[in-house]
Structure 1
């Protein structure tokens, strides 16, 4: 239906007035709003002036035939339905109309009244569905944008409650928005939200992410999977954001039945939060599968063997290793030897043997071609310098992630923050010329 009326508008085009009269009489009982045109040119003028839902055109007309006319309708008004009436046995002309005008239906003259009415009803129903789908897509886009705004507001509130940045938080949030194209930086900041909570470990997710990426590199899975597993490592605990502090601090081995049930849902919560972001589709699936086991005893899907992606196993083994070292698996933290024994013992049951081998090699890897960083005070930071290491407050809160490029405004904010808080800030930077040589 058009916006101006509650009744669908149908435009009939035929160079014979008697046929137009017959068509008007046929559809009149259906309650349609009917427009008539005796040529393609006249019909195009009406389309430019009147809202139309469906065009029913004759094929053989002087000056402009039905194929040419319907091609112009498709180009200028693609959502208008198109039906062709053909009164002679010229299959090539009909094919041309189908290809050029992309008509939904063609009906031979003389037409069967019921067949034509059914075709008109079907075409109008299709148009209604297209309009409804567009409206739904617009609504979904609007809701996603609103959700992103709410997430940004939530991030700001968390930062405000820490009282680490006070009035500077709003300015820093604006800076993050201005560097929105740096997608990895945004992920790093987002992954740090849990680490602001009591029981969170500063830098924990980054350690898991870096080790998982090195493991995938050793497996030879390619740059894209290295990038995906690194993002998955940064976000692998985001599904726990709603956990109470007491549950965040508790090792998995000490959880009761209710806590274990809630804990086992965190990967599903994370996937649901990440899937709406197109760039994180594959990342979300890796996060979902981080607790799957080769023997099928994992969760949430109980996947077995090759059904578990190697990148997901790389994330799993890296997470388990750091969880053991930090005391997240049991009441007491594992020693380095105990943690290595744990992951080696999982070969063939928890992880593929090739994944274990790649992991052990990854532990020995050292960064290559990394420019030498320099330590400066807040007063020594200059625009263009690149942050070489995460910048933390004295309490361990992430201010800026490694890789951030300072501009004049951020330099001023960092200096003001350090002066106001009386904080001793250790800043490691790489100069642009050193960065360019790597």
Structure 2
């Protein structure tokens, strides 16, 4: 079935031309103004994408698409602007009214690429809404949250529901570097929540609420989808062509029979290569008897890699490697922090882990590198990769890309 697109413009010639250009790949509907566009959405929706001209009598395009966001929040909104209107379009993007704007006249290849991305965005949003609805049906999170006798955690879960619906989550990325060259070879995607009415909520607080309420699946699906889509959209610069993205998975996510399908869907919709995805799992989950080892092995067969996190000694690493096809071992930050002052204990443990990892054919990552001295000590012990404030704190995509290109 072709994706459905609504074109809104008061110029009949432009509508006709765009319709001819798009009809072979999309099911196209047209409307000659904002009011008619809103009525069409109500009568004939849903649409994957709505494209609107900026200058129209009665209701300009930014106002129209702002109202579309309220009536059809999953629909991806694109604004067509003249050369004199880019500042208004930028404001619309910053306010969340639109996904993207295109200057008129728009080259066919630019419009086609934008529409492909817009449809992917719509499909991902629709899938997240379905997953969220399924969780709410099963757990009745909202109903329980309205009961004043329930624990505070359920109220937080209800806030998470609204946050997922309102797009309050975002990703930040922390670089992972090759210690020998200090070249960025990967990023860890970290989910952040900034509610409209408050400041940043610590991940340790809302991840627990998501786990206990069953909301971890829709949240996890959002992280997978957003990370793959965002990194796939980064420029194909020399520094990013083979950049890997690390995605954290909780124990309940690992036990979810839909995990493989969720990951595959994120890859398919984004066009991201499975070989560039590393799944980070805690050692407790890796050693659990309930862990679906066969499912994880199938993910690795598709090209994804597994990284073990949170372990404290070489024996645990070896035990986990006997159960799973590990490719990466992340050494806990507290061992890295103690390297300069605790050579007799922490330094020995660190060296044993690196040696065991190499013996198993696994790359070792030192977390928590904050100083040049810690970096040098990790190098001396043969550690392959590093991560920590010495190389950058978790930042938004734009700031990370500036770092990658040396801006």
Q: TM-score, normalised to structure 2's length? A: 0.36
By percentage of residues, which structure has more helix? Answer: 1
By percentage of residues, which structure has more strand? Answer: 2
Q: TM-score, normalised to structure 1's length? A: 0.34
Q: Bigger radius of gyration, 1 or 2?
A: 1
- Bigger relative contact order (CA 8 A; separation at least 6): 2
